[in-house]
C-alpha cells in the first residue's frame, strides 16, 4: 500500500477533485482537496483550487486566506494572484487587490482575468478612467470575457455614460444570458436613462436567476420608487434585510422610503444607518464627547450641534436649536461658511462657529439631522412657531431701493427664480439626483411671458449662464433681472428674497431659505421626491408657506411648468386685489 502522501496518489486525488469541480460536485471536490491538504498542507494546487472553489461558493474570506497560503508556497503563478485579487475586491480591500492584480500582470502581461480584476480594484479606489482602460484591454485580449463587459458597464455609469453602460451589459448578456449581476447592472443603466419600466424587468430577471441577490432587491426597490410604488418598494427592502440584516444601503433606502411615506418615527431610527454607508462613514465626527439622542438631561450642559450634509439641510434643521436651548443647554452651532451671516442671531444659539474653525469645549454633541430622532418628531410635532430666519434689515432696505430704482412703481408680482440645484459630478449617486431635480432655464422660459410678473434670477453656479444664453432666443427672458453677481452668501440672498412676493425654485437650498423665512415658495419637484417633501402633498409639513408642484411621472417637467404658469397667471391677475401671493 502507498503511503498517504505518495505523490502519485496525491496527483490522482487532485485529478479526481478537479473533475468533480468541473462537473459541479463542489462538496465532493472540496472534501478531496481538504484530504490532500491534510496530508500535505503546502500543496500549491490543492490550496489554489480549493481557494477558487470557496470563492465559487461565496466564502470569500476563506478563499482569500487559501489563496494567500498558495502564493506563499509559489509566488510565480499569475492565476493564483488574479484569483486573490478577485477575492480581495469582493472584500472591499482594493489596495491589496490592486497589488495582487499587478503581481499577476507582472508574471503574465496582458492576462485578461488579471486586467479585469485590476479594473475592479481601480474602480473601487475611485479611478474609473483607468479602470475603464483595464476593462477594455481585457476585452481586447479576450472578447468573450463577460465579466469584463459587465464591470465595464459599472464604470461607464460612474463616468456619466449610461447609454454605453447599457450596451456593455447587453454584450455581457449576449455571451452569458444567465448572468444575474449583468441583468441588475442593466437595470441600473436603464434607471439612469429614466426608463423605470424596463429597469424593473431587468431587476426581476436578475432575481429570477438569483433570488437572494440583495443588490438587485435594493435596486428593484429604487425603481419602484421611480414608478411611484412606495409600499412595493418597502416590501423589496424588507426582503433584502431578511437576507442581509446589516446591509447599510438597504437600511438607508428603507429610511428614505419610510420618511417619504410620512412614517417618521420609524424613518428617523433607520436614518441613523447613514453613518454606516461607505460614502458617508468617513465624514462621521469622532468626538470623545457622547452624541445626544434626547435621552439625557441638558440643564447646565453645553451641546455642539453640527452641520453634516448640504446647505439646505442646515437651513431646514437649524430650527431645532431653539428646542435644544429650551432644554437648558448652552448651544454651540457649527455651520458652513456660506451660512454664517444668515444664522447669526438664530434663536437659541449661544455661539456660532464656522466649519473648520477650532471648537470650544462642549459636553455632548448632535449632528443636525439626528435632532428629529432625538426629539421623536412626528408629522404633528414638526417644529414651526413662526419664520426662524430673517434678512438683515439694512441690507433688505438697500435691495428695496435698488428694486424701486429699477422697476419704479410697477405693481408687477416680484418673483425669484431658481431652476437648477448644485452639481456634484464626482459622486455618481448625487449626479443622478442633481440631474433629476434640475431644469434648463429654457424649459422655464415660458414663465417670463406671463404678464404682470417681474422675474429676478436667484440662480447661482454654472447653470446661471443659461439665462444669458436663452435671452438671445427668447426675448421675454431679457426682462429677467439678474443681480446674482452681488449675492455672495445666503445673507445677501435673504435680503433680496425679503423684497420679493414669491420664490419659484427646484428642490435646492433656495427653496429652504424662502420657506424658513416664511416667504411664499413654489417648489418644482421631481417624481422620485426627496423624502422631506413626502408624497402627494400640495403643501409642505416643514414650511407652511410652500406649495409643491409635482411631476405626475418620472421626468415630466412639462406638466409641472404648465401648472406653475397657470397658477402664476392667476396670481398676477389677482394682483389688483392683493399685493401678496399666498402659497
pLDDT score recorded for residue 2: 42
SS3 of 346, please? coil
pLDDT score recorded for residue 558: 96
Residues 498 and 472: their CA atoms lie apart, in Å, by: 30
Residues 378 and 388: their CA atoms lie apart, in Å, by: 20
Q: Which fold has domain 393-576?
A: Rossmann fold (3.40.50)
Residues 289 and 487: their CA atoms lie apart, in Å, by: 38
* Torsions phi, psi for 208 (to 5 deg): -65, -35
The average pLDDT across 202-227 equals: 97
With bands split at pLDDT 50, 70 and 90, how would you rate the model's confidence at 327? Answer: very high
With bands split at pLDDT 50, 70 and 90, how would you rate the model's confidence at 156? Answer: very high
pLDDT greater at residue 179 or residue 446? 179
Residues 458 and 394: their CA atoms lie apart, in Å, by: 20
Residues 389 and 434: their CA atoms lie apart, in Å, by: 26
Sign of CA dihedral 446, 448, 452, 458: positive
What is the pTM (predicted TM-score) of this model?
Answer: 0.89
CB proximity list for 193: less than 8 A, separation 6 or greater: 162, 163, 166
With bands split at pLDDT 50, 70 and 90, how would you rate the model's confidence at 188? Answer: very high
The continuous run of DSSP H or E covering 341 comes out as helix 340-343
Q: Which residue intervals of the chain bear CATH 3.40.50.2000? A: 393-576
Q: What cell numbers appear for 95 in the block?
A: 489596495
Residues 61 and 166: their CA atoms lie apart, in Å, by: 32
- Confirm if 74 and 44 have CB atoms less than 8 A apart: yes
The average pLDDT across 539-546 equals: 97
The average pLDDT across 338-358 equals: 97
pLDDT in tens, 504-541: 999 999 999 999 999 999 999 999 999 999 999 999 99
With bands split at pLDDT 50, 70 and 90, how would you rate the model's confidence at 578? Answer: low
Compute the chain's Rg from CA coordinates: 29
If you search the block for the grid coordinates 453602460, which residue do you land on? 165
pLDDT greater at residue 45 or residue 418? 418
Residues 536 and 531: their CA atoms lie apart, in Å, by: 12
Residues 110 and 137: their CA atoms lie apart, in Å, by: 8
Q: What angle do CA 437, 517, 380 make, to 5 degrees?
A: 80
Q: What cell numbers appear for 549 in the block?
A: 408642484
pLDDT in tens, 464-506: 999 988 888 888 888 899 999 999 999 999 999 999 999 999 9
Percent of the chain with pLDDT over 90: 78
pLDDT in tens, 23-39: 888 888 888 888 888 88
pLDDT above 90: residue 57: no
Percent of the chain with pLDDT over 70: 97
**Domain 285-381 carries which CATH code?**
3.40.50
Q: Which residue intervals of the chain bear CATH 1.25.40.10? A: 216-274
- DSSP assignments along 201-230, one per residue: HHHHHHHHH-TT-HHHHHHHHHHHHHTT-H
With bands split at pLDDT 50, 70 and 90, how would you rate the model's confidence at 455? Answer: very high
If you search the block for the grid coordinates 499577476, which residue do you land on? 104
SS3 of 525, please? strand
pLDDT score recorded for residue 236: 97
The average pLDDT across 9-20 equals: 80
Q: What cell numbers appear for 467 in the block?
A: 439665462
Residues 243 and 392: their CA atoms lie apart, in Å, by: 54
If you search the block for the grid coordinates 449576449, which residue do you land on? 174
pLDDT above 80: residue 426: no
Task: Name the CATH code of domain 216-274 (choices 3.40.50.1820, 1.10.3720.10, 1.25.40.10, 1.10.357.10).
Answer: 1.25.40.10
* Torsions phi, psi for 87 (to 5 deg): -65, -45
| 328: exposed, middle or buried (Cβ count in 10 Å: 0-12, 13-18, 19+) | exposed
Start-to-end CA distance of the chain, whole Å, equals: 94
pLDDT above 90: residue 114: yes
Amino acid at each position: 500500500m502507498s503511503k498517504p502522501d505518495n505523490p502519485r496518489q496525491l496527483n490522482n486525488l487532485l485529478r479526481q477533485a478537479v473533475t468533480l469541480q468541473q462537473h459541479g460536485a463542489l462538496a465532493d471536490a472540496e472534501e478531496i482537496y481538504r484530504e490532500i491538504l491534510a496530508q500535505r498542507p503546502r500543496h500549491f494546487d490543492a490550496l489554489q483550487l480549493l481557494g477558487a472553489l470557496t470563492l465559487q461558493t461565496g466564502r470569500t474570506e476563506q478563499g482569500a486566506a487559501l489563496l494567500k497560503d498558495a502564493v506563499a508556497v509559489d509566488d510565480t503563478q499569475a492565476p493564483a494572484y488574479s484569483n486573490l485579487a478577485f477575492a480581495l475586491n469582493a472584500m472591499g480591500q482594493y489596495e491589496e487587490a490592486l497589488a495582487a492584480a499587478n503581481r499577476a500582470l507582472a508574471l503574465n502581461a496582458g492576462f485578461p482575468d488579471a486586467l479585469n480584476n485590476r479594473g475592479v480594484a481601480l474602480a473601487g479606489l475611485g479611478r474609473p478612467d483607468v479602470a475603464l482602460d483595464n476593462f477594455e484591454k481585457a476585452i481586447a485580449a479576450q472578447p468573450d470575457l463577460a465579466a469584463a463587459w459587465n464591470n465595464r458597464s459599472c464604470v461607464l455609469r460612474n463616468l456619466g455614460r449610461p447609454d454605453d453602460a447599457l450596451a456593455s451589459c447587453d454584450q455581457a448578456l449576449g455571451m452569458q444570458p444567465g448572468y444575474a449581476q449583468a441583468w441588475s447592472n442593466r437595470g441600473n443603466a436603464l434607471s439612469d436613462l429614466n426608463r423605470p419600466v424596463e429597469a424593473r424587468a431587468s431587476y426581476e430577471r436578475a432575481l429570477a436567476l438569483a433570488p437572494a441577490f440583495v443588490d438587485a432587491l435594493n435596486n428593484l426597490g429604487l425603481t419602484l420608487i421611480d414608478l411611484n410604488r412606495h409600499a412595493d418598494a418597502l416590501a423589496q427592502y424588507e426582503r433584502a434585510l431578511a437576507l442581509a440584516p446589516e446591509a447599510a444601503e438597504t437600511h438607508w433606502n428603507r429610511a428614505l422610503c419610510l420618511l417619504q411615506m410620512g412614517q417618521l418615527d420609524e424613518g428617523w431610527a433607520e436614518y441613523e444607518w447613514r453613518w454606516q454607508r461607505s460614502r458617508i462613514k468617513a465624514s462621521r465626527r469622532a468626538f470623545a464627547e457622547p452624541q445626544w439622542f434626547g435621552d439625557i438631561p441638558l440643564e447646565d450642559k453645553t451641546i455642539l450641534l453640527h452641520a453634516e450634509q448640504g446647505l439646505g439641510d442646515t437651513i431646514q434643521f437649524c430650527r431645532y436649536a431653539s428646542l435644544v436651548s429650551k432644554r437648558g443647554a448652552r448651544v454651540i452651532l457649527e455651520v458652513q461658511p456660506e451660512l454664517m451671516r444668515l444664522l447669526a442671531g438664530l434663536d437659541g444659539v449661544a455661539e456660532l462657529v464656522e466649519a473648520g474653525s477650532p471648537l470650544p469645549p462642549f459636553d455632548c454633541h448632535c449632528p443636525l439631522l439626528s435632532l428629529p430622532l432625538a426629539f421623536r418628531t412626528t408629522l404633528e410635532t414638526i417644529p414651526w412657531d413662526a419664520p426662524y430666519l430673517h434678512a438683515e434689515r439694512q441690507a433688505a432696505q438697500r435691495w428695496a431701493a435698488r428694486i424701486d430704482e429699477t422697476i419704479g412703481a410697477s405693481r408687477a408680482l416680484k418673483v425669484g427664480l431658481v431652476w437648477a440645484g448644485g452639481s456634484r459630478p464626482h459622486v455618481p449617486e448625487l449626479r443622478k439626483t442633481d440631474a433629476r431635480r434640475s431644469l434648463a432655464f429654457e424649459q422655464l422660459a415660458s414663465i417670463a411671458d406671463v404678464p404682470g410678473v417681474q422675474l429676478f434670477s436667484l440662480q447661482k453656479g454654472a447653470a446661471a449662464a443659461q439665462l444669458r444664453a436663452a435671452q438671445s432666443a427668447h426675448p421675454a427672458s431679457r426682462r429677467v433681472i439678474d443681480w446674482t453677481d452681488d449675492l455672495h452668501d445666503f445673507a445677501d440672498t435673504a435680503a433680496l428674497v425679503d423684497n420679493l412676493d414669491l420664490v419659484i425654485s427646484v428642490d435646492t437650498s433656495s427653496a429652504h431659505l424662502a420657506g424658513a423665512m416664511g416667504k411664499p415658495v413654489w417648489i418644482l419637484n421631481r417624481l422620485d421626491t426627496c423624502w422631506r417633501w413626502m408624497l402627494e402633498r400640495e403643501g409642505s409639513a416643514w414650511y407652511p408657506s410652500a406649495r409643491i408642484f409635482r411631476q405626475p411621472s418620472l421626468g415630466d417637467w412639462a406638466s409641472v411648468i404648465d401648472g406653475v404658469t397657470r397658477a402664476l397667471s392667476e396670481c398676477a391677475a389677482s394682483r389688483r386685489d392683493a399685493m401678496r401671493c399666498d402659497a
